[in-house]
Structure 1
Amino acid sequence: MDLALIAALIMFASAFFLLLIGTPISISIGMASFMAMLSILPFNGAMITSAQRIFVGLDSFALLAIPFFILAGNIMNNGGIAIRLINCSKIISGFFPGSLAQTNIVSNMMFGSISGSGVASAAAIGGIMTPIQKKEGYDPAFSAAVNIASAPTGMIIPPSNTLIVYATVAGSVSVSALFMAGYIPGLLWGLGVMLITAVMAKKRGYVLRNRMSLKECINVFIAAIPSLSLIIVVIGGILGGIFTATEASAIAVIYSFVLSLFYRSLKIKMLPEIFLATAKMSAIVIFMLATSSIMSWVMAFTEIPNMIAAQLLAVTDNPIIILLIINVILLIIGTFMDPMPAVLIFTPIFLPICVNLGMHPVQFGILLVFNLSLGTITPPVGPILFTGCKVADISIEEVIKLLLPFFVVIAGVLMLVTYVPAISMTIPTMMGLIK
């Protein structure tokens, strides 16, 4: 048997076994990769190469953005920013059937784009909107389904930690281009959810009882301007060349901290707990990046992506079918694995295949993150699914059947992202971020 194939079998089989017995993902990746490396290198060589790959994998200035954006998101969760974005969302959503549910969707898109976390959006926005909707007679299962279906938009609309991780793993891919490429797909996801919500709400008779007056709309919008300005400062500064994405993450921390103090919603005594939560979450992500760097080396050395590409081409040489197969695989993976480790593992496998088919790495990055974001709202793992159900205090079984129409529409948007490059490439191309 070919040595490369033996190494591949050892790596995937041992990783699967370690995950099956409950070993943390980062440790599973590192140990499986090291065992595979032992099949192609002597022990000393495997030890030295593994250590080198860990340091190489973390030797990136762009990775500093991850803990800063996580910290900014945690500060915003406790800083009174969510309620102001919700009030602002009412201006946009107040004219649609099921206006409170629509407000939840728009708020998730806004808050998610600022915090960069779908789980944070589901918890923060859902925690505020669910009791309000229940008071107005909304079915809690319906409210939870809407909250869950719209929360992942924040993982695609920038800034997004998942896109930063992808840029690091993929190599020479511009974070700014990825950020700009995420806008239209993320907005289409949100609009699709709004459409289904409008149809379902109309059937259920959910209407807005009290419309906001023009004066109220103006006051609410003015009150939300400081919160909305955060995304303008961060993205505008990156595009204007004023600061890098990493520097922008630090600006986001300072801005959100000052704004939260101004709103008097954040107490200084809350900071140690926020810092600790940020350190724990950042450590998990960074350690996964370190261990996945060993796996990337093994894949490159053994040419595993080329073997997988050959197997796909043996099935069909039609690019449309190949991309469909890749989507199906990623959707299945997304139901079992969190987005971060999935990006680390499957970027080196599928990126070369898609590039050979003529797809730009930026478009593939959006396709990959879109697929894995959809996985966050599907069982059995589905962190956003579980968070949304916990916030609404209902069972997953009650929500799943209501989520099915949303899955259909989101999958339709995914097909557009896959087969229509303009969906993700238009904005970065117009801004000169892609040549």
Structure 2
Amino acid sequence: MEISVIVLLVSFVALLLINVPVSISIGVATVLAMLFTIDFIPAVTTVAQRMGGGLDSFALLAIPFFVLSGLLMGRGGIAARLIEFAKVLVGMVPGGLAFVNIISCTLFGAISGSSVAATSAIGGFMIPTMEKEGYDRNFTAAITVTASTTGLLIPPSNILIIYSLASGGVSIAALFVAGYLPGILVSLGLMGGCAIYAKINNYPVGRLPKARELVTKTFDALPSLFLIVLVIGGIVGGYFTATEASVIAVLYALFLSVVVYREVKVSDLPEIFTKAVETTAIVLLLIGTSTAMSWMLSYENIPQSISNALMHLSDNPFVILLTINLILLAVGIFMDMTPAVLIFTPIFLPVAVSLGMSPLHFGIMMVLNLCIGLCTPPVGSVLFVGCSIAKTTIARLIKPLLPLYAAMFIALLLVTYVPAISEFLPTYFGLYGQ
């Protein structure tokens, strides 16, 4: 291995260990590695150019708008309405509140595009509510943490936009549609685990809702749920692109939050806009520095070396894909999703394609894999938020998380080895191959 690559890896890990922000760690490590190849000024200039080039994409314009729409929906009273809607759907089955938690997190995560926002908004209400009904607090927090990640598969999803950039242009519309069935599959897997747990622990069963209550709660939630229909329907129907859809999502979320639900005041908008700018800046800095590191690795032929090593590991595609998944799981434990997608897509995508996997299928597999990392220690952002809301510790959450990890891993294997789960809907809507 080249000395520059060793410097890159060692410096990156060392910077993370002393709590340097991930984006800064990636950028500094890349510059240090390049100093072993070229002089300081050319090294810094090259990194800056690669960062700028990584951000020079029209598709990335969708990210700030989807971030803003998510913040508006998060402050706009959406969570409470989705929870009430989920209650009338599944609250009467054994372990019904656990199902309500999962459905609410999935829907809110999909609408807001943020797993952290889903954990905060849904967990803030559901964790104490479920505890009052006799559910274990740690188990409740574990449900919230894992279920919140499913929203990253169901559009609008910023991470799928980033994968489109990293893969060289896989259709965002196709990726958006492809994420539905895998996201639902993960939710169903989590529900299965919760049903068994609820039966063993004899958790309470909710009452059957009255017809009028069912209609009322459904009607209250419809405006929020319509955002998904509006965005995806418009993209699939060819009325607008994903970037244009992000602007429409902002306008709709603004109208819903300020005019319809009246949960957001006009005086709150400057704060929300500022938060959206801050979040976008963090994401774009990650994209820029990760693109530079990815270029550095490609310059040193690391993707080709890893590809050759994997192809010589076994002649069995099952074994190679399992190995890729295990590596990505390990990466997800220690690295945020955005740099992981940008750095490792150029490394593993050629291997997957050589095995007959489509770039669309690989993207969904990769995002689902990294979703597991969001709820695993030591750096899982969603896990930390869930612990904070539940006022518990990571150590206490590990035991109830284990069966939920197992459910997510089984879903991952199904998505990996059954291409139709990811490819059926894009094919049905004529988006496959775009």
Structure 1 residues 14, 397: CA separation in 2 closer, same or farther (over 3 Å shift)?
A: closer
- CA distance in 1 between partners of 2:243 and 2:67 (Å): 12
Aligned partner (choices 216, 222, 225) of residue 225 of structure 1 = 222
Given candidates 411, 414, 432, the residue that maps to 2:412 is 414
Q: What stretches of structure 2 of length at least 5 have no aligned partner?
A: none
Whole-angstrom distance in 2 between the partners of 1:96 and 1:348: 45
Report how far residue 134 of structure 1 moved.
2.2
Distance 2:150 2:291 in 1: 28
Amino acid paired to 1:282? T
Partners of 2:293 and 2:188 lie apart in 1 by: 38
Worse-superposed segment, 90-99 or 34-43: 34-43
Which SS does the other structure have where 2:54 is aligned?
helix
The aligned residue for residue 178 of structure 1 is: 175
Correspondent of 1:111 among 100, 108, 111: 108
Q: CA deviation at 1:414?
A: 0.5
Say if 2:428 is the partner of 1:427. Answer: no
CA distance in 2, matches of 1:60, 1:398: 43
What residue is the counterpart of 1:351 in the other structure?
Answer: 349
Q: Secondary structure at the match of 2:263?
A: coil
- Map Cα deviations across residues 184-213 of structure 1 (whole Å, 9 max, x no partner): 111000001111111111222223343210
Separation in structure 1 between the aligned mates of residue 191 and residue 255 of structure 2, nearest angstrom = 33
- Residue 383 of structure 1 is matched in structure 2 by 381
1:252 aligns with 2:280: no
Tell me how far 1:44 sits from its aligned partner.
4.4
What's the Cα RMSD here? 1.6
- Match of 2:30, as an amino acid? S
Asked whether 1:34 is paired with 2:27, we answer no
Structure 2 counterpart of 1:102, one-letter code: F
Q: TM-score, normalised by structure 2?
A: 0.95
* 1:85-111 alpha-carbon deviations (Å, 9 max, x no partner): 111112321242111111111111111
Aligned counterpart, 2:278? 280
Question: Match for residue 299 of structure 1?
Answer: 297
3-state SS, counterpart of residue 22 of structure 1: coil
TM-score (norm: length of structure 1): 0.95
Per-residue CA deviations over 1:325-344 (Å, capped at 9, x if unaligned) read 11111111111111112112
Name structure 1 gaps, 5 residues minimum.
Answer: none
Aligned partners of 2:20 and 2:100: how far apart in 1? 40
- The residue that corresponds to 1:147 in the other structure is 144
Match of 2:93 in 1: 96
Compute the displacement of 1:43 (Å).
4.2
- Report whether the alignment pairs 1:269 with 2:267: yes
More off after superposition, 114-123 vs 202-211: 202-211
Letter in 2 for 1:397: A
Partner of 1:234: 231
State the shift of 1:415 in Å. Answer: 0.6
**In the alignment, is the contact (CA less than 8 A) between 1:178 and 1:366 conserved in 2?**
yes
SS in 2 for 1:137: coil
- Within 5 Å, give how 1:201-220 maps onto structure 2: 201-220=198-217
| Structure 1 residues 235 and 20: CA distance shift in structure 2, 3 A | same
The offset of 1:293, in angstroms, is 2.0
CA distance in structure 2 between the partners assigned to 1:375 and 1:270 by the alignment: 33
- Number of matched residues? 432
8 Å CA contact retained: 2:93, 2:206: no
Question: Structure 1 pair 43/410, CA: closer, same or farther in 2 (3 Å)?
Answer: same
Q: Structure 1 counterpart of 2:417, which letter?
A: Y
Aligned AA (2:85): C
Identify the match of residue 169 of structure 1 among 162, 166, 185: 166
* Contact kept? 1:185, 1:423, Cα under 8 Å: yes
Specify the alignment match of 1:401 in structure 2: 399
Q: Aligned partners of 1:377, 1:383: CA distance in 2, in Å?
A: 7
Paired with 2:379 and 2:27, the residues of 1 have a C-alpha distance of 22
Equivalent AA in structure 1 for residue 221 of structure 2: A
> Does the CA contact (< 8 Å) of 2:79 and 2:122 recur in 1?
yes
Residues 37/317 of structure 1: CA separation in 2 closer, same or farther (3 Å cut): farther
Q: How many Å separate the matches in 2 of 1:215 and 1:337?
A: 48
In the TM superposition, residue 8 of structure 1 has moved relative to its aligned partner by 2.4
What amino acid does structure 2 have at the position aligned with 1:330?
L
Could you tell me whether the CA contact under 8 Å between 1:34 and 1:294 is conserved in 2? no
Q: 2:154 aligns with which of 157, 164, 178?
A: 157
Helix, strand or coil: the match of 2:231? helix
CA distance, structure 2, for counterparts of residue 141 and residue 49 of structure 1: 48
Map 1:353-372 to 2 at 5 A: 353-372=351-370
Partner of residue 20, structure 1? 17
* Stretch of structure 1 that moved more, 300-309 or 371-380: 300-309
Find the residue that maps to 2:267 and give its secondary structure.
helix
* Residue of structure 2 aligned with 1:8, choices 5, 9, 19: 5
1-structure distance, mates of 2:411, 2:289: 33
Q: Distance in 2 between matches of 1:146 and 1:204?
A: 15
Taking the aligned partners of 2:124 and 2:183, their CA distance within structure 1 comes to 22
Q: Distance in 2 between matches of 1:209 and 1:103?
A: 11
- DSSP 3-state at the match of 1:412: helix
Higher mean displacement: 314-323 or 70-79:
314-323
1:83 to 77, 80, 83: 80
Structure 1 stretch displaced more, 361-370 or 33-42? 33-42
